[in-house]
Amino acid sequence: MQLTFTSLSSEAKSITLPYPADLAGSGPYEERVTELNENWGKFKISDLWFDGVCVCTIEINIKQPCTINLHCDNFCWIMSFVLDGELSAKFGNGKLLALKDGRYHTICTSLLNTDLIYERSAKVFAVCLTRKFISKLIGKELKKDTIITKGNYRHTRLHAIIKEIMEAPQQGYIRRIYIESKILELLSLQLQQAESSQGVPRGFNREDIARLQEAKAYIAQNMQTPCSLIELARKTGLNDFKLKKGFKALFGNTVFGYLFDLRMDTAYTLLQDDKSVSEVAELIGYKNPHHFTAAFKKRFGFLPSQVNKMQL
């Protein structure tokens, strides 16, 4: 198996990253950093892999717009998260996929061959899983060349997991076990979302689904000052019944259940960044730090003040 990145914006230059079959390694994991310097800018990829899993961070700093062809000669299940910037992916069938800051896409493909079009600098975090790894977990035939799920990962548990993987401080087998557990959590959350989106009840059309997505985004953007169900329904053009029933069916949670989980997951990430309990409580919309502490303990089973101690 190998990944090939080819610059199409000047003299054709390539980076070829070879991997063993099924990404197997001789130790707990293998890792490397590879760079390509061009007249349009600098391309850097940091990758780490072990049995069935490859984790990589792709950074590109450009002086002028450029296009890089990405080719993988094997089946792969890719979870990509745009950490910063923006780019477009153009596939062989002519389809153009916009990849924007804060968005993620999970794609299953038998053969990846896409042009990555950069108009500005960007940074992408990606996880690639082999057919064997996915099949063992799902236990069924995989659909080829399809988008499994997509959405906004900011202010969600997905965002916290990515940070935990990228900053994993452990070494050796402990680090590998830790990263693998986080990848399984990423996969679980995304598959849950994919299944929930298929369970939208009858009577809901595409416009209703778009409005439910809008409601979810509005909740995330206004976490500090949430509105009532009636206000949210009015802002998104849904009636109260459709909002409650559709939200639960599409996202697997109630409106206020989603808000609670969102606040707690965001709080956990902020606490990892050394912010104080009172500061975090205010940032996620709790006027009383004691109420926040009680809610946090209910969700995670320990006090918010213990987060940094647990990291140590």
| Dihedral sign from CA coordinates of 124, 77, 106, 146 | positive
Supply the pLDDT for residue 310.
Answer: 60
The alpha-helical segments, DSSP class H, found in the chain are: 131-138, 157-166, 172-197, 206-221, 229-236, 240-251, 255-272, 277-283, 289-300, 307-311
Q: Is the dihedral of CA 69, 56, 62, 89 positive or negative?
A: positive
Q: How far apart are CA 304 and CA 184, in angstroms?
A: 25
Give the span between the Cα atoms of 301 and 291, in whole angstroms.
Answer: 15
Q: What local confidence, expressed as pLDDT, does residue 276 receive?
A: 92
For the whole prediction, is pTM greater than 0.85? Answer: no
| CA 299 – CA 302 distance, rounded (Å) | 8
pLDDT value for 312:
46
Q: How far apart are CA 74 and CA 13, in angstroms?
A: 22
CA angle 170, 122, 65 (to 5 degrees): 150
Between CA 163 and CA 161 the distance in angstroms is: 5
Average pLDDT for runs of 10 along the chain of length 312:
77 80 85 89 92 93 89 86 92 80 87 88 94 81 67 82 90 93 90 68 79 89 90 91 88 90 90 89 92 92 82 50
Q: Is 22 helix (H, G, I), strand (E, B) or coil?
A: helix
**Which of 59, 153, 145 is CA-nearest to residue 101?**
153
